[in-house]
Amino acid sequence: MMKKALSLSLTLGLLTACGDDGNDASTGNESIGSADSVSGDGDGDSATDGTGDGDATETESNGDGDGDGDGDSGDSGDGDGDGDDGCGDENCGCVEVTIPAIPPNVMLILDKSGSMFSNEVDDGMGGMITRWNSLHNVVTNVTAANDVTLNLGAQLFPQYDAAIDFNIAACNTLATPEVLVDTMNGSNIIAAIPGPTAAGNMVGGATPAYAGLDSAYNHLASLDAEIPKYAIFITDGAANCRADLVADAVACGGDFACSTEVLAAWETFDDTLVTRVGQAFSDEITTFVVGIGIVDFDPNSGISCTSDADCSAFPGTACCGVTPNLSNCPQNNTCGYPFGNPKNVNAADELAAIAMAGGAPNLPPTGYYDGSDQAQLQAALDEIGGLIPTCTLTLDPAPAANQIDRVTLTINGANYGFCFDTMGEPLPNCSPILADAAACATGDGFYWSVEHTEVTLCGAACESFKTNGELDAAYGCPEGG
């Protein structure tokens, strides 16, 4: 599902090449750079050309070990490691690095259409709240929980002050997101979107999903190409406001005098949306799709009716030809969608197709993530947050071949992987490396998600990394290596 692993910059903590000790009679465990007589510099050089960074005094074998000492004899010992820990030959580098968390860039694309404010969902506490209120509550929770681990931004569709009456301006959407992606951005997102009980000209409008996603995608594409990018698209219905139909309505004047053009823009499904989502995925932007109150209903199915009550099994529909507010129904005396909504489309099927194009479909039967009440919406976004790989890390530099079994990751005092220090003593609070992704599902620690270059943290190790923001990695050397 994910297209690339998180690429991380590394801050080098300690890098030492572990050669022999630079003495003519090497033992491999002493400080490097000891000189046979006066003025040795401690870097593995001989007495006659000591020019390195050691501090040897006028006694034998007392270089301070700052040089590397590759074991050259005679007058030319140049040295390339400090030798303090006796790690082995020059091909085995004892490495310690600090790996900071570099959060992925994630845009929230939020449906602010009229139906988000006119329909209600279960709030999980025995009450009913609007779909928007539910979404606002969950976005508040999600941004607070992921402020450190995700760089977040937000896009509304339509925009904050889009028209809420019969006007093509109900499709208006900002070409630049309300909140650009940034670190620690949760409070900015909550401040920029309508409040949980917003009313008046702050709420409502059409469902210009293409414009919202297009703006979000363009912003994500402008960011660092090395940082993974994700879009979380949340909507409660089929997209309308197709660009060519909006242009026709605008050219006409955009209001009641142009009812034919405005209705065409509102009541035609925007079938270009799935192509745009697929294009974004090919540009390495993965899209998760969440549906709120989506009904699996085909208006072309010809379900007969003589009153709206006959259509009660399909929330949000009414009996065409009976309810005055319905127009352009596929067939009178059948159940259909009301005025202003796309007529000839099954929203559930279309969301499933969009999710597939976005590269992150949910499991059947829906294919998208269902958020039909507040608890389901919270669970959906929590699950999506767990799928965005904040705990998949590239080790750079990667361990050498003879260090692979001696990699130790330390996160907030807990150790994972190789559970012994350089003296062979057991490390405290240490869990061994996990075998594979299956073990990761129930275990704590890490496994090699790409053999010997990429690790995925699991369980408590992942959660601690998200909170702590960095880990330390140490690559030891085999005994005698």
Top pLDDT among 334 and 96 is at 334
Mean pLDDT within 238-245: 98
pLDDT tens profile 218-235: 999 999 998 899 999 999
Residue 158 confidence (pLDDT) above 90:
yes
Q: What is the reported pLDDT for 327?
A: 64
Segments of the chain assigned to CATH 3.40.50.410: 105-296+346-387
DSSP string, 434-474: P-SHHHHTT-SEEEEEETTTEEEEEHHHHHHHHHH-EEEEE
Q: What is the reported pLDDT for 30?
A: 28
3-state secondary structure of 123: coil
Mean pLDDT within 443-454: 91
Residue 39 confidence (pLDDT) above 70:
no
Which of 23-37, 305-319, 430-444 shows the lowest per-residue confidence on average (mean pLDDT)? 23-37
pLDDT tens profile 3-18: 333 333 333 233 333 3
CA distance 38 to 186: 63
Residue 456 in contact with residue 437, Cβ under 8 Å? yes
CA distance 168 to 180: 26
Q: Is domain 105-296+346-387 classified as CATH 3.20.20.70?
A: no
pLDDT tens profile 364-388: 889 999 999 999 999 999 999 888 8
3-state secondary structure of 145: helix
Residue 51 in contact with residue 57, Cβ under 8 Å? no
CA geometry: angle at 140 spanning 237 and 278, to 5°?
Answer: 40
